[in-house]
Amino acid sequence: MRILAVCGLVLAGSVAAEAHQPSARLKAKFGKGIGTFSLDAAAPATRLRYIVVLTDPAPDAADRRDRKTRIADGQNRVLAGILGLRSADEPTRKVRRYATLPLVALEANPAELERLAADATVAAIQPDEAVQPLLDTSTQLTGARAAWTLGATGSNQAVAVLDTGVKTSHPFFAPKIIDQACFSGGGGVATTLCPNGQYTQTGIGAAETCAASVSSACFHGTHVSGIAVGLGGKTGSRDGVAHFARLVPVQVFSRSGNSLGAWFSDIVAALDWVNNVRDGYDTVKIAAVNMSIGDSVAHANCDSDLPAVKTAIDTLRANGIATVIAAGNNGFTTGVSAPGCISTAITVGATTKKDGLASFSNVGDMVDLYATGVDIQSSILSGYGKASGTSMAAPHVAGAFAALRSAVPGATVDAIEAALENSGRAITASGVTAPRIRIDSAKTILTTVSPAATIPPVTDPATLVVSPTDGWTVTRLTSADYSMTAKSYTVLGANGDVGYTITAGGAGIPKWLKVSATAGTATDPAAAITISVNEAVAAKLNNGTYKATLTFTNTTNNVGTTTRLVTFVRK
């Protein structure tokens, strides 16, 4: 496999002259991504890497255990049911599953894409591409220091920085780091930068920065993290915006030759991980994700082009976590880099310390906020140093979310964004005006104008829980021994009683299958449902394989509705 570099981004695979003609159905579900990839140019035999977006199986506020089970069921349907892949096939097809997001990344050819697009449970498909660290050739100005005196310090909050990792031993971060992760390699398309040599690593040491010998850009994540949450420990002259906040660094970059690229499948895996661990740090909550990354193309709204990334950002936002993304450093006047072009991200442009527009900053309708991004002093691999770019502006805003959330713990992403927008200094560029943040003023607005804008407590709804999660396969021989085994499932009403039914499609439960009860009320403790083969019917069947998908439906609120595949092989 070769790596195709296009317009500053990377696409796995190669494109041959002979092309597949995509159906209208596939075109309708396909997000074009950010590169020059075209469905019309894809060779029939060529497998490229994609991210498949499934219809959401349950609201994210539902019981997390049940949601994860239903997401896994959907992924199994794509991999085994639609594409016919076995578990053993997943490594060679570079499959990446996601725990809390209804997505799955894999390699597929055009014919397989057509099969995916034809299935109603597949909502969208996007190509897996790579973006780069946003490099160019503070706290006083943003009002952070004044906000500290108002209680907006970042205490009990954290910022997750998806970047090139951090120098974990740097004194600017001790003892701030509460967790680490790495998602790298694009499923095998590029060289992983995870310290363990795998495509995924979590825990101590997982986000250790790549070395300067790998790339001159390896300092990037360390510098960005310092701007957001660094703590100098002495005079505070070098402190980050939310200087009492904690840090969750995540390495998302991979190595391709001498360049670094972050594949969308790895970026989404990192966002999925953040969503999964968001409440796992006792009193500390993740307030924001910072992504100072992007491509070199001017984009308007790209929600339909990057549906998998949009799904991840929306999920985090619904759970109280802002995704802050740099606008890009190309000097575009009518667009921003991807993925900052996603409407629900907080996209940040850069200004000078005199409140002029930074010459390199992308501008346009997609820019939500500005922050200083020129000659910003922060941590680097060898100590401290200055850097410029929208990469440096974005963590000012991510830190602002953590600082403001520490002062008003119940404030939603919408409320904090509105406070920053309504309190900032107006910056006008190319006819479009957006505010440069002033955190102290935003804190005043947040506590006096919108005190009721709080994150509502999540209460788990009454949920149908069916155990175990696997299906049942039974083989019957044409012999005198007609004895059959049975499969037992339990139905449980978690967080309250729920009604349930067990069905098998429009034709009903087949006559060769017996189910001990097809309707009832699931309570706590659980009740057992037994399924078995009807021997009298089975004895008259021709040799072959018979399948039935049993649907366990929560008739009260549909939370926990799930399926189990029953396979009967008559020999």
Q: Which residues does the annotation mark as catalytic? A: 163, 220, 391
Q: Tokens representing 566?
A: 């029953």
The b-or-e profile of 10-23 (16+ CB within 10 A means b, else e) is: bbbbebeeebbebe
Sheet order of strands, 157-163 included? 200-202, 181-183, 246-251, 157-163, 285-291, 322-326, 346-351, 369-372, 432-436, 425-429
Please name the residues in contact with 341: beta carbons below 8 A apart, sequence gap of 6 or more: 299, 300, 301, 302, 305, 306, 335, 347, 366
CA-based max dimension of the chain = 91
Roughly what angle, to the nearest 10 degrees, separates helices 390-407 and 439-448?
A: 30
Of the chain, the end-to-end C-alpha distance in Å amounts to: 43
Of the candidates 527, 506, 524, 505, the residue with the CA atom closest to the CA atom of residue 516: 527
Q: Tokens representing 164?
A: 């090139």
Roughly what angle, to the nearest 10 degrees, separates helices 220-229 and 390-407?
A: 30
Cα atoms in the 13 Å half-sphere on the side-chain side of 458? 11
Distances (CA, A) of 554 to 497, 503, 551: 10, 12, 10
Q: How many CB atoms are located within 10 Å of the residue 498 CB? A: 26
